[in-house]
Amino acid sequence: MAILAVTGTPDVLAKIPVDVTAPGAVVRSTAVDNGDGTWSVTVHAAESQIPAMQAAGVTVEIVVSDADDDARWQVILGQVDSGPGVA
């Protein structure tokens, strides 16, 4: 799942995510006022959702691609401590 920098006016950002039932995240705590009437926010979404976002009026920049995020997660899942407990 890609990590995206999404930019637009508050009105168009209000349409993101386009599909509220799809896995992903709009990370509201990353919103930044660009001072020109637009805001930027970090969004986790599949790259396949980018055209729908762009159609809603936002600009999208891929910060971490689907493939790179998947590779990150392969490492994370190798760092899980599932027991048997503490020494």
Partner 1 sequence: MAGWMTSAVISAHLDQAAANSRGVCTRMSWAAGSAGASAGYVKIAKVTPASPAQRWPVLISGGVHARELAPPDALVSFVEKLLAAYAASSPLVYPSWTSPVDAVTYSSFTISWPQVQSVVERLDLYVAPLVNADGRDFVLGTPADPADKDLRRMWRKNRRPPPAGSTGDSCTGVDINRNFSILWDYTTAYLPAVVALAPDAGVAASQDPCDFESYAGPAAESEPETQNLAGLMRSQNISFYLDVHSYGRHVLYPWGIETNQSTVVTQNFANPAWDHKRDGSAPAATAYAEYIPASTGAAMDAMAKRMCDFIQSKAGGADPTARSRSVYTSRQSGLLYPNTVVTGSSNDYCFSRWFTAASAGAPISPVMAFTVEAGGDVKLGGSNDEGGFAPHYVNFYPKIEREIHAALWGFLTAVAAVNFAPPEAPPAPGGSTCFIAGAAYGDGTHPDVLFLRDVRDRQLGASAAGRAFGAGLTAVYSRLSPPAAAWLTRRPWAAAAVRDFLLHPLVAVLRRVSALAEGRPRVRSVLLTLAFIIALAAPVILAVLVALLARA
Note the residues at the interface with partner 1 (CB under 8 A): 1, 3-5, 10, 13-17, 20-31, 33, 39-42, 44, 46, 61, 63-64, 70, 72-73, 75-77, 79-83, 85-86
Q: Does residue 51 have a cis peptide bond before it, meaning omega lies within 30 degrees of 0? A: no
Question: Which tokens belong to 56?
Answer: 């809603």
Nearer to partner 1, 14 or 36 (CB): 14
Nearer to partner 1, 21 or 36 (CB): 21
For the CB of residue 20, give the shortest distance to partner 1 in the complex, in Å: 5
**Which residues, listed in sequence order, are joined to residue 42 by a DSSP beta bridge?**
5, 27
Contact 16, 38 (CB under 8 A): no
For the CB of residue 12, give the shortest distance to partner 1 in the complex, in Å: 10
Q: DSSP 3-state assignment of 37?
A: coil
